[in-house]
Structure 1
C-alpha cells in the first residue's frame, strides 16, 4: 500500500546534515520509500568529495530523500544518480527562464554558476543494494554568496522573486517519488540520452586537471558507466573523482 507523499515529508528546524538524519532513520527501521526530511538550517551539510555544503538558514532547500532503487538500477548506480539529476534540473528549469544544465556528475548550473548540488549515498547488504539517500541542496532565496559570488547563484538572483522553500521542496519531493516509482521500467539508454542533452558544456572545449596534468579537449558526453568522455585528438574516459574541472 502506497503512503500519502505528504506524510512522508517532514521539516526539521536545525540538524547537522539531512543525509545523516536520513541514514539514521533507515538504520532504525523507520524509513519508507520516499521518506524525506528538509532542514531549515543544517550546520554540517554534505557535499561531494567530503566537502561541506553551506547555505543561508531558512533561505534555500536542504532536502534528503530515502529511495529504494529496486532491481531497475542494478548494477549501475550512475543511472540512479543521472535520473536524480534530470528530475532536479527539470524542477529548477520551471523556476527560471535561463537554461539550466547538469554539470557532471550531478551539479545543477544556471549559466556558468552553480545553483545546486546532489549527493547520493548508497546502503548495501552484501551485494544487495538496499537504499539510496539522495541529498539535494538548491539555492532559492539567497542573495549573497560572499567570496563565492562568481561561482554560485540562486533562483532569486535570476528572477528577483522569492519563493517558499518548504513549498518548493514539497513539490520536488512529489516529483522524485513519481520519478522513482519502483513499478516503472527503466530505460538506461534513454536516461543517458536525456542526461547528455542537458549536460553542461557538452560539445564545447573544456579544461581538466588530472594528476597535475592539464587536459584540454571537446566534451563529447557521458557514457552508460557514468564516465566523462573528452576528445583531445583521442577519446579519453574519466571516472568520477579523477578529473578536476577548470572553469
Structure 2
C-alpha cells in the first residue's frame, strides 16, 4: 500500500492506490474533471492493463513488479508554447534518481529512459487539459521497470535485470516523488536554461553520428539539440539542420 508522503511539500499528499486499473493517466484525467484530484495528487496501481506509451503504443507491465503512476500538476505559470520544459524537468528528475541504481542512464528523445546496451527501463507520457489558450492541468504518466525480469520486447530492461538485485518499490516511489517535486519547483523558479542544459547533457546520441529514418528513407545524422517547441534538431552530412517532431523520425 502506497501511503501519503510526509517528506514533500505538495506532491503525494493525496494518493489514490488501485491494485489494478486500465490506465493511471485515464483515471487521473477523470478525477481532475470530477474535481476529485488537484495539483500534487498521485494515482498509482500495481497492475495496469491498458497503459499508454508514446506514439500510441501500449506500456506492458507485470503485476506488482514495477512503478506505474500518474501525477496531477497545474503548470498554469507556463505558456502553452513552453510545454516541453515540463517534459524535460520530469525526465531530469527521474534520471537523477535512477542513476543511483544504474549508471549511464540516458534520456532518449523525447522522454524514454534507457541504458545503452541493455534497453528501455522507463517512459513518460504527459497529457494536458486546456481552457482556451490557458493550461489547466498536466497529467504526467510514468512507467518504470524495476523488478520485472522477463519482457516481450528485446529492447526492454529493468533496474533488476541490469543490476541483478530486487528493490523495494515503495522506497523508490518515495524518493522519486521527492525528486520530481524538486524538479517541478526548479521549473517554477524559472531555471529553464539549467533544465535544458541538464536534459541535453544526458540526451541519448547527443553529438554522435547514428542512423535514422524519416519519410521512408534512411540517413545518417547527429543530434545537436532541441528547439523551443521540443522538436529534435539533427545535423545531416551536408551540414543542414533538419527538424523533426514526434512520429517524424525513427532511431535505427
Q: Which residue of 1 aligns with 2:31?
A: 25
Count of matched residue pairs = 242
What is the TM-score normalised by the length of structure 1?
Answer: 0.92
Mapping 1:6-155, distance limit 5 Å: 6-72=12-78, 74-96=80-102, 98-112=103-117, 113-146=119-152, 148-149=153-154, 151-155=155-159
What is the TM-score normalised by the length of structure 2?
Answer: 0.90
Q: Are 1:69 and 1:180, in contact at CA under 8 Å, matched by a contact in 2?
A: no
Deviations 1:13-33 (A, max 9, x none): 000000011001100101121
Structure 1 runs, 4 residues or longer, greater than 6 Å off: none
Report the CA distance between 1:239 and its aligned residue. 1.5
1:179 aligns with 2:186: no
Q: Which residue of 2 aligns with 1:231?
A: 235
1:5/1:78 CA distance change after superposition, 3 Å:
closer
Q: Are 1:25 and 1:31, in contact at CA under 8 Å, matched by a contact in 2?
A: yes
Matched residues in 2 for 1:24 and 1:229: separation? 35
Deviations 1:57-76 (A, max 9, x none): 10001010001113145431
Deviations 1:65-110 (A, max 9, x none): 00111314543111111111111111211222x2010000000011
Matched residues in 2 for 1:63 and 1:183: separation? 21
Equivalent of 2:165, from 151, 161, 167?
161
Report the CA distance between 1:240 and its aligned residue. 1.8
Q: Are 2:13 and 2:40, in contact at CA under 8 Å, matched by a contact in 1?
A: no
RMSD: 1.8
Unaligned runs of 5+ in 1: none
Deviations 1:123-176 (A, max 9, x none): 001111111000000000011113x13x11110111111112233122212222
1:157/1:92 CA distance change after superposition, 3 Å:
same
1:187/1:4 CA distance change after superposition, 3 Å:
closer
Q: Are 2:212 and 2:218, in contact at CA under 8 Å, matched by a contact in 1?
A: yes
Unaligned runs of 5+ in 2: 1-7
